[in-house]
Amino acid sequence: MSNVTLLKDRIARRECRVGVVGLGYVGLPLVLRFGEVGFRVMGFDIDVAKVDQLNSGTSYIEHVPAPRVQALLDARRFEATADLGRLGEPDAVIICVPTPLTQHRDPDLRFIERTADAVAATLRRDQLVCLESTTYPGTTEEVVLPRLEARGLRVGEDFFLAFSPEREDPGNAHFDTATIPKVVGGVTPDCLALASALYAEAIKQIVPVASTRVAEATKILENVYRAVNIALVNELKIAFERMGINVWDVIEAAKTKPFGFQAFYPGPGLGGHCIPIDPFYLTWKAREYGVATRFIELAGEINAGMPAYVILKLMEALNERGKALKGSRILVLGAAYKRDTDDSRESPGLEIMEELFHRGAKVEYSDPHLPRLPIVRRHKIDLASVVLSEASLRQYDAVLLVTDHTRFPYDLIHRSASLIVDSRNAFRARQLTGPHVVPA
């Protein structure tokens, strides 16, 4: 019996051990899913605090309940560790590490490279390695594969390598790790077959594709599509405003067309780890082939300019009331990048807060999902969330809505705030209008 057949059989009997490297918004849900369908799972992370929390049965991600972690611990199907020297223990290693940009908008692959080196140091025969981190087409075979083959083992014979883009959407009530279709590409046919077999045990629909490059490009296309269309409605929002037209009314009317139109909505800027970052991985790689990705560059320019536009609308609203931004007390509503999550990665709210501080405003924030702002790569703001009440809201010269969480008490805010600048159309959508509610 071949090693491929043996590993497939072990996967089918759920006897193989799964390792997940990177226990964030992508890796931790994957750990839980594999554990809950019967696999023994090791979670790897260089953040010792995260490892300790998980091993004590607690969770640091809001939409990942602690009882799910504790249940796997009780069943002895999960262990977290910061020791990358143990990467040789799992039969399958899934890599879910960050892929940020440098300050010059070039890919920063150091986390993939370091993880690949760590996997290579313990790589053994018949291990399956899957990369999930979003990156440019070619990364799996150009960056990861040479590192894994450096000690003499050969892909498709001694070990197996695949790419399967993560598609996590924190806070999505309709789709989760188990129900989001899983695109999988392998370096060789056996690599594809084994990776597909593994994911099929935990995820309902597997979408095999021709190569790792196709799988890598799939995720990039998905995020470029969203970035470009969001940039379009952001640009139209500004143009329509000059014409006296409310873009939200236009979108609501346009989306009644049953074909040929998909609604995208404007906002204060792009957030999250995907849409603001991933398109520029393709831009960087396309330059290697002499291709200018002008749509991506333009979309990035428009979306990156939205926080400044929102601040301009805030300044104009204050000026109408005889107040300058400098010295004004501003309450920012929402620090997470999207509604009803605690995910603040690349959040436009953090960028807006820093710029308001820079301009001399006195800034505080309120977010029911983020009791204290995390210190992140780009922003270091040490603030705790303000509890909303009639008394607290009356203290501010303006309230700026950045993230439209459903848990915000919109009636109370509308009744108590002297000025509301709304970048999400949240108040108008609830028929909470008036001269003190200004769209942005």
Q: Give catalytic residue positions.
A: 274
- Tell me, rounded to whole angstroms, the distance of Cα 145 from its chain centroid: 26
d(CA 19, CA 88): 9
d(CA 440, CA 425): 8
Residue 28: CB atoms within 10 A of its CB come to 27
CA distances to 20, 197, 377, 412 from 26, rounded to whole Å, are 10, 20, 18, 35
d(CA 36, CA 70): 11
Residue 388: CB atoms within 10 A of its CB come to 19
264 near 232, Cβ under 8 Å?
Answer: yes
Q: What radius of gyration do the chain's Cα atoms show?
A: 24
DSSP string, 139-205: HIIIIIHHHHHTTS--BTTTBEEEE------TT-SS--TTTS-EEEEESSHHHHHHHHHHHHTT-S-
111 near 97, Cβ under 8 Å?
Answer: yes
d(CA 120, CA 21): 13
User: Which amino acid is located at 121 in the chain?
Assistant: A
Residue of 100, 103, 119 whose CA lies nearest to 111 = 100
The sheet carrying 362-366 orders its strands as 362-366, 329-333, 398-401, 420-422, 437-439
Report angle CA 348, 351, 354 to the nearest 5 degrees: 150
Residue 390: its H or E element: helix 390-393
Q: Which residues contact 355 (CB under 8 A, 6 or more apart)?
A: 307, 308, 311
d(CA 270, CA 273): 10
CA distances to 230, 273, 430, 435 from 424, rounded to whole Å, are 13, 20, 12, 17
Strands 160-163 and 182-186: antiparallel
d(CA 14, CA 201): 8
